[in-house]
Structure 1
Amino acid sequence: MKQTQFSSGFTLGILGGGQLGKMMLYTTRKWDINTYVMDKDDTAPAFQGCDVYFEGDIMDYESVMEFGEQVDVLTVEIENVNVQALQDLEDKGIAVSPSAKVLNLIRNKARQKSFYLDKSIATAAFEVYSQPNLEHQRNYPFIWKSAEGGYDGKGVKVIRQASDLEDLPQVECIYEDMVDFDLELAVIVARNANGEMKTYPVVEMEFHPEANQVEYVICPARINMDISDRARELALEVSEAYEHVGLLAVEMFLTKSGELLVNEVAPRPHNSGHHTIEGSITDQFEQHVRSVCNLPLGATDSTVASVMVNLVGEEGHTGNVIYDGIEDILAMPGVTPHIYGKKETRPFRKMGHVTIVADDIVAARELAEVVKGKIRVIAE
């Protein structure tokens, strides 16, 4: 008799207890899949909905090994985990998705960018340094990126003059050409262990100019069908190169000349796919669970035009969180807030998101602007 993941002794383990883990649990609860979560923060949002939670550091080898040996399938909601432990768990027969090999490539931006060169995948020109180097050949301005540890705009800086390099962390980094682009796009690819693959419609991302975080995700992207087809094909090419299992969010630039360049990827559910909860037949979190459990993939079609607005902490506010104006947006048709469960806010911390759906993307984008103006994440 075939083993089933549903209402059985099968256990899915998630390393990381943040909002992405919490939203994966929407599916595991719906399907009665036994789920363990580990995070070192005893207030982690995903602890609210899992079957068993473990307090432990996901960067600690022994903690990850002890946790992983208790599950049938192990996945992650963040890349910063102990990769050696994942490799050793794979060697013991635990199904780890994404694999240690994939995570090792992706979590280090220098290795990730070099991988694209090796696979002839178009990306912005770059150089790798062991630490910030004043003796370089790049024209100003260019982008400095920390090779490891950067996220949500951290570990990234525009270098406009030599003095901008002086106070940077003395860590491995890349210098990357500024890309003259029209739009920043993203495509999420799902792939299971059987090799079944599907892409979601292309989304367009608008970034906050100060925080360098995604402010709006727009689906469908406001591009023509040729660009859309090429973007989805490029995302599939990247996915096939990595041979990953799970979700892969592929971020890319559409240049002024119409070229598509891969910026970076994330091997997990991603901010660019949050709109799928309300806007797609199969949301990205269910699709990730389907992928890592080697279940048939769900349909990726959009059911409605949708825009996602990130809810981040206001500047000047640190402390117990208040969602000022949430009652106003709850009264608006087509507007759904998601609160992540983080009790304390700080400037630009991701605290939630709002999905806006409408009959067409113009109406959805206009309503998103109204929503953005009505709700503020502040402290008591």
Structure 2
Amino acid sequence: MATPLSTPGPTLGVVGGGQLGRMLAEAAGPLGIELVVLDPTPECPASPVCRDQIVGEFDDDEAVRELAERSDFLTFEIELADPELLERVQEETGVPVHPSPDTLRMIQDKLVQKDALTDAGIPVPEYRAVDDADELRDALDELGSPAMVKAREGGYDGRGNAPIESPEDAEAVLDEIGGAAMVEAFVEYERELSVIGVKGADGVATFPAGENVHREEILRETVVPARADEDVRRRAQEVATDVLELMDGRGVYGIELFQGPDDEILVNEIAPRPHNSGHWTIEGAVTSQFEQHVRAVTGRPLGATDRRSPTVMTNLLGDVEETQPAALRGVEEILGTSRAALHWYGKRDARPLRKMGHVTLTGADDADVEDLLARVRGLRDSATFVGQD
């Protein structure tokens, strides 16, 4: 018989204390669950809202063991966590890690990730592993060009990705990637979609499909519902559910997809954690992705994933030319707008294009998302990190 749940609840240890850790702590508090985070940056963004921070590197054996000793469950909010260390600590201490270290290991290598998806019959763009310039040129003969070359490990927010226009550029592009790589065929996609999925002790669930707008390889906006036919949105959730069945371990997964030719849904990449494209769920869904992650990894029942209203989210990026102390000016319009919500990540320094916060705008049931998108862009542009004379 399962042990009855109670509140206050367990302590959740999180590897990583950035903005995702901060929002996890904000969601955990009302459930009676406290967080301890491990992060190398003293007074990291999560520190003001969690019980405590352990200052240490993500692969620091002693620090991760201390985190386990102080926690009932372990999770991570960054893929730079060390799966081998987490696996060892789980085995030696008995503190469960979710999602599983095996899942983290698989997702950390984009080629291994794509192979696992392909073996499971989940549709992905055509791809090839490439170890040198000759292999890249051969792959382009098969896949065509332009194409996208991706570092197998360590890439995020567009880092580690490089477009290639011609086989003549093979050596230069691989030098830019700087390590083991793979190449993907260019997809003439209609739009990029994302589905936030969650795997809990009581099953799996998906949030409605959102549409992502990127510029310079960085997510700028998410629009929910996605501006696609209902059948396309439903198919995206179906593919995301197939992905969840493949994943090992409880938690939230950010699943990025392409709406390709003839409305085919292709999986781009998976994040084994809450995702930027799911920030809309804080105001726009019955249960946020962050609360869902806390519920899932601690073995609690999942909440409802229904959308409350049409919702758009825009990132607040550093609009500075060089690093400077972070002070967001001109927030009056955001704070004075009905149905707008400002989220500040607590980072000390603004850097060019660094994610510093986000703004969410919700609408009535019959709201036009195009109108919401235009309005939220205006709110975003009303604020700046640039100093005033």
Question: Secondary structure of 1:36's partner?
Answer: strand
- Is 1:27 equivalent to 2:33 in the alignment? no
Which residue number corresponds to residue 199 of structure 1?
A: 206
Aligned-partner residue type, residue 87 of structure 1: E
Question: Which segment drifts farther, 307-316 or 177-186?
Answer: 307-316
Correspondent of 2:336 among 331, 338, 358: 331
Question: In 2, are the aligned partners of 1:335 and 1:356 still within 8 Å (CA)?
Answer: yes
Question: In 2, are the aligned partners of 1:13 and 1:75 still within 8 Å (CA)?
Answer: yes
- Is 1:172 equivalent to 2:177 in the alignment? no
Q: Structure 1 CA distance, aligned partners of 2:298 and 2:147? A: 41
Which residue number corresponds to residue 245 of structure 2?
A: 240
User: Once the 2 structures are TM-superposed, how far is the Cα of residue 89 of structure 1 from its aligned partner?
Assistant: 2.4
Correspondent of 2:290 among 279, 285, 289: 285
Question: In 2, are the aligned partners of 1:188 and 1:200 still within 8 Å (CA)?
Answer: yes
User: Once the 2 structures are TM-superposed, how far is the Cα of residue 35 of structure 1 from its aligned partner?
Assistant: 1.8
- Is 1:50 equivalent to 2:55 in the alignment? no
Which residue number corresponds to residue 158 of structure 1?
A: 163
- Is 1:145 equivalent to 2:156 in the alignment? no
Q: Which residues in structure 2 correspond to 1:67-78 (within 5 Å)?
A: 67-78=67-78
User: Once the 2 structures are TM-superposed, how far is the Cα of residue 303 of structure 1 from its aligned partner?
Assistant: 0.9
Q: Structure 2 CA distance, aligned partners of 1:48 and 1:136? A: 52
- Is 1:312 equivalent to 2:317 in the alignment? yes
For residues 293-326 of structure 1, the C-alpha deviation after alignment (integer angstroms, 9 at most, x for no partner) is 1111111111111100001111514210121321
Which residue number corresponds to residue 123 of structure 1?
A: 124
User: Once the 2 structures are TM-superposed, how far is the Cα of residue 157 of structure 1 from its aligned partner?
Assistant: 1.2
Question: In 2, are the aligned partners of 1:313 and 1:347 still within 8 Å (CA)?
Answer: yes
Question: Secondary structure of 2:205's partner?
Answer: strand
Aligned-partner residue type, residue 121 of structure 2: S
- Is 1:187 equivalent to 2:195 in the alignment? yes
User: Once the 2 structures are TM-superposed, how far is the Cα of residue 164 of structure 1 from its aligned partner?
Assistant: 6.0
User: Once the 2 structures are TM-superposed, how far is the Cα of residue 193 of structure 1 from its aligned partner?
Assistant: 2.8
Correspondent of 1:373 among 373, 381, 386: 381
Normalized per residue, which structure has more helix? 2
For residues 44-95 of structure 1, the C-alpha deviation after alignment (integer angstroms, 9 at most, x for no partner) is 1011111121001112333323322331100111111111111112323211
Q: Residues 291 and 131 (structure 1 numbering): CA distance in 2 closer, same or farther, change over 3 Å? A: farther
- Alignment: residue pair count: 376
**Identical aligned pairs, as a percentage?**
35
**Structure 2: gaps of 5 or more residues:** none
- TM-score, length-scaled by structure 2: 0.92
Q: Which residues in structure 2 correspond to 1:11-26 (within 5 Å)?
A: 11-26=11-26
Q: Structure 2 CA distance, aligned partners of 1:164 and 1:364? A: 42
Which residue number corresponds to residue 80 of structure 1?
A: 80
Question: Secondary structure of 2:237's partner?
Answer: helix
Q: Structure 2 CA distance, aligned partners of 1:34 and 1:362? A: 39
Aligned-partner residue type, residue 20 of structure 1: L
Question: Secondary structure of 2:386's partner?
Answer: strand
Question: Secondary structure of 1:311's partner?
Answer: strand
For residues 198-227 of structure 1, the C-alpha deviation after alignment (integer angstroms, 9 at most, x for no partner) is 11000000111xx21111100011112211
Q: Structure 1 CA distance, aligned partners of 2:262 and 2:86? A: 42
Question: Secondary structure of 1:332's partner?
Answer: coil
